[in-house]
Structures are given as structure tokens and as C-alpha cells.
Amino acid sequence: MHKQKSFPLRIGEQDRQRARRLAQRMGLSENRLYSDLIQEGLLVREQMAYFEKLRAMRVSPAEGLELLKLAPDVPPRKEDAAPKARRTSSVASPVSPAVRGRKPA
């Protein structure tokens, strides 16, 4: 098992207060929120680096789309499916109820 180490995070008090409020609304610990944000940020940066690599290889958007056509059109495996959204917050959804109930066109 991976042993976690402590890492002091230096952020401004205003950002810390924002994070605390958000963590509370989401039903998470402050530490879990920071961990999730770091993981998401790392993923985004890794994806950006990958796209930069593709650009350096001079892969055109059309070629990239052609590559995607090679992927099988099958539903994701159970372990690859996106988790269902967890609604622990009392914050109102930005999508109106009328829109939320509609089926995709």
C-alpha cells in the first residue's frame, strides 16, 4: 500500500475559505477536495501535453478524427463507465427543471 506523506499547501486565506465552503456544499472533507482538484488539474495538464505532442507531430484535426473512427462503437465496459453523479449539495442546479426533463434531440 502506498504510504501518504504530508505536504503543506500554501494558499491565501480567501481561497482557503472558498475551498472550505465548496467542500462543505459537496459533502467532502477539505483534504479530499484538494486531492480531487489536484488529480483533475494533473489530468487536464497531461491531456494538454499530449495534444501538444500531437501538434508537434503535425497531426491535423482531420487525421485525428479519422483515428477516432477506428475505435469500436461499443458501450464502455462496466469498470470504465462514468460514475453516476453524487448529489449531496443543496445548491440549485444551473439547469432549469424544464430542460432537465427533456430527452436529447
pLDDT of residue 18: 97
Ramachandran angles phi, psi of 56, nearest 5°:
-65, -25
Rounded-to-integer distance, Cα 11 and Cα 26, Å: 20
Q: Is pLDDT above 80 for 43?
A: yes
- CB-based contact 19:30 (threshold 8 Å): yes
pLDDT (tens digit per residue) in 7-18: 888 999 999 999
Read off the amino acid at residue 62. A
What are 35's three cell numbers?
486531492
> Quick one: pLDDT at residue 20?
97
Neighbour-count burial for 10-31, b at 16+ CB within 10 Å, e otherwise: eeeeeeeeebeeebeebebeee
